[in-house]
């Protein structure tokens, strides 16, 4: 009940902010909220978009403690280059933190044009070694965080009649990789949700788009957790070494992570209604692209079979009733 009351309070407050007062940013400046910007893709995306004159809210946990140095670096960059880049506290696993962050964004900008669900966490080990608590943590960060963030942002975008929900997924959201079972499962789940949102909010002028990076040697590769029940590794033989082989392959990647930030910029700059559902970037692209192409074909058939293809079509303001 407490969670529900917290969510209701912040939703009511953010919508009231939309109704009153003038915007503090230029009418031509798009407002972007990004999760997980302390390092890796998130930080690169924040810097890239800010340098392209977007009003960027770069969110992360523990801005005054564990991530204080990273937060100050972004703030100093904004000051040095005169960027509209603000660092805000946001823990994607906490309802109240999500509500507070969105309320702060609304108080300063009066809108959210783009939400980038980038925060992520990974476990690299045999599935049997992963405890239930670890599995729940994996899904809380990679899947339920998206539920929280979208629920907070969508009332705002619906009021605006426009918006972009963008998800940083992975090739692991389309492929089952030994040693990454729970990470893959969380990304599969996120992609299923993101695609369903694609159909459900399209008629309100809101895009839902998935970005699938290949292997990149970002800091997340050094933060991957191991299974907490290592006794369960017994009897796996050669397979017991597979997670480390996969990790070595990721760490050996020479791909430039800036490619992901550049693709995010390209997606945002693509006119609403013309964006693809999925974009694959990086090594191993053709295989995942084949899966995506076949899935698109089957999904189109499903929508037609249920007679909901028209309802799931993207509509610009002049196309709505």
Active-site residue set: 183
Tell me how far apart the alpha carbons of residues 88 and 33 are, in angstroms, rounded to a whole number: 10
How are beta strands 31-34 and 55-60 bridged, if at all? parallel
Angle between helices 145-160 and 95-109 in degrees, nearest 10: 30
Tell me how far apart the alpha carbons of residues 144 and 131 are, in angstroms, rounded to a whole number: 18
Residue 33 and residue 100 in contact, taking contact as beta carbons nearer than 8 Å: no
Strand partners, 168: 211
Tell me how far apart the alpha carbons of residues 244 and 247 are, in angstroms, rounded to a whole number: 5
Around Cβ 118, how many Cβ atoms within 10 Å?
Answer: 25
Burial of residue 5 (number of CB atoms within 10 Å: 0-12, 13-18, 19+): exposed
Lookup: tokens for 263? 């693709």
Angle between helices 40-51 and 68-81 in degrees, nearest 10: 20
Residue 224 and residue 181 in contact, taking contact as beta carbons nearer than 8 Å: no
Residue 303 and residue 312 in contact, taking contact as beta carbons nearer than 8 Å: yes
């Amino acid at each position: 009940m407490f969670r529900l009351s917290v969510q209701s309070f912040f939703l009511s407050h953010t919508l009231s902010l939309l109704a009153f007062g003038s915007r503090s940013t230029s009418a031509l400046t798009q407002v972007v909220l990004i999760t997980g910007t302390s390092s890796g893709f998130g930080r690169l995306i924040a810097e890239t978009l800010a340098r392209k004159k977007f009003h960027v809210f770069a969110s992360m946990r523990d801005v005054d403690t564990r991530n204080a140095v990273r937060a100050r670096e972004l703030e100093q960059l904004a000051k040095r280059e005169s960027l509209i880049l603000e660092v805000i506290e946001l823990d994607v696993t906490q309802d109240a933190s999500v509500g507070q962050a969105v309320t702060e964004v609304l108080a300063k900008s009066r809108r959210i044009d783009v939400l980038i669900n980038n925060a992520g966490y990974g476990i690299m080990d045999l599935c049997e070694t992963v405890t239930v608590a670890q599995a729940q943590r994996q899904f809380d960060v990679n899947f339920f965080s998206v539920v929280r963030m979208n629920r907070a942002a969508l009332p705002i975008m619906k009021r605006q009649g426009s918006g972009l929900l963008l998800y940083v997924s992975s090739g692991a959201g389309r492929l089952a990789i030994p040693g990454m079972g729970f990470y893959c499962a969380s990304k599969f789940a996120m992609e299923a949700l993101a695609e369903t949102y694609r159909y459900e909010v399209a008629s309100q002028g809101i895009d839902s788009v998935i970005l699938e990076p290949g292997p990149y040697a970002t800091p997340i590769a050094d933060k991957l957790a191991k299974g907490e029940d290592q006794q369960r590794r017994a009897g796996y033989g050669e397979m017991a070494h597979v997670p480390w082989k996969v990790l070595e392959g990721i760490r050996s990647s020479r791909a430039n992570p800036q490619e992901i930030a550049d693709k995010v910029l390209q997606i945002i700059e693509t006119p609403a209604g013309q964006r693809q559902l999925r974009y694959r970037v990086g090594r191993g692209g053709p295989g995942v692209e084949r899966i995506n192409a076949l899935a698109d074909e089957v999904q189109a058939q499903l929508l037609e079979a249920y007679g909901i293809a028209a309802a799931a079509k993207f509509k610009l303001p002049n196309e709505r009733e």
